Structure 1
Amino acid sequence: MLREELLQKYKKDVDNLRNSAKDLGLSNKELDIIFKKCFSDIKKSTNGSKQTKTKAQQLFRTVINIFLLFTLITIFIYILLNVHQPTSSIVLRNVQGLTYPTLKIVRFLSVPFLKMFPSLTDLYDETCLLENPYFYVADMECWPCEGVHAVLDLSEVDQSSFSSGSGTPFIVKIDLQPVTFKTLQHTYNENQEVFNVEARRIKSTNTSIHNLKDLFHSDMAHLANTTTHTSWRINKMVPARLIRKLFPRPSFISDRCGQSVERFIIIDGAKAEPYILPNTECSYIFVIQGSGERTIVLRPSMECSQNCRTVSVILKPSYVLWYNWWYWRPISLPTENSTGPSVSYINSYC
């Protein structure tokens, strides 16, 4: 609409208002007072919104300036402490004495939060709170996996004569009593108080399983031929000792190696869908098959994907699969014609 047309429409509307006012008995003077009052209110409203917008902009600019100033000061202090040795020595000498009192105050302040959210205490035993999914090692040597064409079976070799320090994966048959779902169920029933408090973390593809009680009070005969996959993570010493009685340390692992407290028990139905084995604290990993069978596909890590090839092995009961996490990323798949559930145990050492 053109400007002249808008003005004509505006004039026509004003004339209509004046005519309506005359019909109501209002004089021109009274009508002018009403018009002035309306224009005054509109002007105040417009100025108020502009002032509010201006104040918001000023506040935003102030916050940005404070953030930039804080960033510049932080960078300056960091460079000063890392480049200027005398300043670094003075700061460290004076700060070291404040470390313990500061941590004590932080702990004191955190007590109310821990009472409100007791599950936060589980973070005490975590070595890593957030894993970096983009972790990549540049120029990593891949010779330990370059010549691997199959997973070696070293069951007939004297276990004391070979070393597990390379990157070549292998399997070994050990003297192990079968660990079935009923075995785990019996161990849980005898130590419910320990497991429910110290090792309650569980993940399952079955929506009806939320905790250990749901898992071990379920009918495994019903779950045996399903796609249910359940992972039970243990990272505390007391429950780890109980589980270690079922899955003893393989003899080919030296006593001088530091075995990780973190371990996993994987319970799969016969038709459980493929999944990636969990990452562990240490790079040397062994998987003990307690009962049932699973097919393990060892894919080369991202760093070695161009140099190494994928290999696979069927992990049968009482067999141990050893591999190095630096070179291999395993996937567990259901074994063809398998009819029973699978129980696997995963641990690592450094």
Structure 2
Amino acid sequence: MANNNSVEEYLVYLKENANELRQLGKKWGMTEEEINSCVTEALSMTENKEELKKSPKNKARKCWSYFLFALKFQLAFCLLVFVLIAGIYITASYHEPTQRAVIKVIMPYSYEIMRLVRLAAVPLHGMFNISSLYNSECLIENPYFIQETPDCNICRSFKQAKGLNASTFNATKFTAYANTLKPVKLMKTIERNITYSDIRKMYLETQDRLVAEPHQFTSTVPSIQSLSQLFDEDHGEEIDAHENQHIDWHSTTVKASAGLRTLFPRPHYLPPETEVTLEKHVLIDGPNTTAYHLPVMNSSPLHLYTQGSGKRRLLVRPVEGCKEYCNSMLVFMDPGDALLYNRDMWRVYLSTSGDTTSVGYVIAIQI
């Protein structure tokens, strides 16, 4: 409305000052015909508004105005979210009931939230080391937690573990088998044997950091009850000679994971968006170690056991609620082989099948 009034006022001004405009045109060297044409066009009020709307300049202005509006809206939304989060944080810091309520709401999603934070921070690793900001996972087993029994119909038709060559196994196949919950043996996942000596060499290169970091260590050998006792001195001959021994190094730190990754690289068939959790187990067993079940990790249900050295038998059994409906499977593992399985459906028991020391490696994969 304001624009229409201003146009009408301007036209009235032009009519009142037409003579002055004619004189000004003559001074500029315009002919009488050119002056009349300009005055007629200015006073006609017959401009084509539709053409003005379709003009490139008008479209550019509209696009620019939409962009500015979207930008302002995003800034206002981000500011509102920031103020909301800051308000909740400050309130929870000083008001205990609010704090308990907030923790109760976000607790079921805490791992997923921190996983997104870690994935978002991956590009920063290329610029500087930020490992100290999230050095270890706090994993506490809940003795009162009972795992929900899965649908046993899933495993009724499984007769034996599928055997595939790791060189032809890709990210698409990994995702497919991970979703079917069927155990898969992947032959030659790693190309060389990983022995006690290899792990000890890695340990000696990062000794101070590994000993100081949080970890759990269990051993059936009375003289070896810590990581230092296992690796500070060479116990290779003793381990090879001790038939019934079992050692479990349970690591949950970034620094230990980085060292172990030099021995057990990230499998090439894992999709880029998957995460190998910090929780890992290194298992060192004597030639005739008593059978035991592989560790069950809470960080993720999808587990991957890799045979670093030695030959072993793995008995893959259904979980307690599905034993009557599903078959147990026997898998023979050679050095370099790996077994992919879901701990929600299966429990894996390890026993000997040779007269050499065994080195195993268990990781959890978040998909």
> Cα gap change, 1:308/1:155 in structure 2, threshold over 3 Å: closer, same or farther?
same
1:300-339 alignment, distance < 5 Å:
300-335=318-353, 338-339=354-355
Partner of 1:100: 93
Paired letter, 2:90: G
Displacement after TM superposition at 1:98 (Å): 4.0
Say yes or no: does 1:248 pair with 2:248.
no
Q: Counterpart of 1:146 in 2: which secondary structure?
A: coil
> Cα gap change, 1:230/1:102 in structure 2, threshold over 3 Å: closer, same or farther?
farther
Say yes or no: does 1:346 pair with 2:359.
no
Question: Residue deviations 1:196-230, cap 9 Å, x none?
Answer: 11154210011111111211224221221421100
Say yes or no: does 1:172 pair with 2:186.
yes
> Cα gap change, 1:187/1:102 in structure 2, threshold over 3 Å: closer, same or farther?
farther
> Cα gap change, 1:153/1:213 in structure 2, threshold over 3 Å: closer, same or farther?
same
1:150-165 alignment, distance < 5 Å:
150-155=160-165, 158-160=168-170, 162=173, 163-165=176-178
Provide the rounded CA distance (Å) in 1 between the counterparts of 2:145 and 2:276: 26
Deviates more, 1:148-157 or 1:198-207: 148-157
Counterpart pick for 2:159 among 149, 154, 163: 149
Q: Counterpart of 1:262 in 2: which secondary structure?
A: strand
Cα RMSD, aligned residues only: 2.5
Provide the rounded CA distance (Å) in 1 between the counterparts of 2:274 and 2:222: 39
Provide the rounded CA distance (Å) in 1 between the counterparts of 2:318 and 2:139: 24
TM-score by length of 2: 0.60
Question: Residue deviations 1:99-142, cap 9 Å, x none?
Answer: 23579xxxxxxxxxxxxxxxxxxxx945442323661415x312
Q: Counterpart of 1:346 in 2: which secondary structure?
A: strand
Partner of 1:135: 146
1:75-86 alignment, distance < 5 Å:
none
Partner of 2:69: none
Displacement after TM superposition at 1:156 (Å): 7.3
Structure 2 residue runs of 5 or longer lacking an equivalent are 1-85, 97-134
Percentage of pairs with the same residue: 22
* Maintained 8 Å contact 2:290/2:351: yes
Partner of 1:58: none
Displacement after TM superposition at 1:340 (Å): 1.4
Displacement after TM superposition at 1:188 (Å): 0.9
Aligned length: 236
Provide the rounded CA distance (Å) in 2 between the counterparts of 1:272 and 1:141: 34
Provide the rounded CA distance (Å) in 2 between the counterparts of 1:285 and 1:180: 21
Counterpart pick for 2:274 among 241, 246, 257: 257
Provide the rounded CA distance (Å) in 2 between the counterparts of 1:136 and 1:238: 31
* Maintained 8 Å contact 1:199/1:239: no
Counterpart pick for 1:183 among 174, 193, 198: 198
> Cα gap change, 1:313/1:133 in structure 2, threshold over 3 Å: closer, same or farther?
farther
Displacement after TM superposition at 1:279 (Å): 1.0
Paired letter, 2:223: S
Q: Counterpart of 2:277 in 1: which secondary structure?
A: coil
Displacement after TM superposition at 1:193 (Å): 0.8
Provide the rounded CA distance (Å) in 1 between the counterparts of 2:204 and 2:167: 38
Q: Counterpart of 2:340 in 1: which secondary structure?
A: strand
* Maintained 8 Å contact 2:307/2:334: yes
Paired letter, 1:97: I
Question: Residue deviations 1:290-338, cap 9 Å, x none?
Answer: 1111211111001222221111111110101110111101111111xx2
Provide the rounded CA distance (Å) in 2 between the counterparts of 1:300 and 1:133: 21
Partner of 2:76: none
* Maintained 8 Å contact 1:199/1:233: no
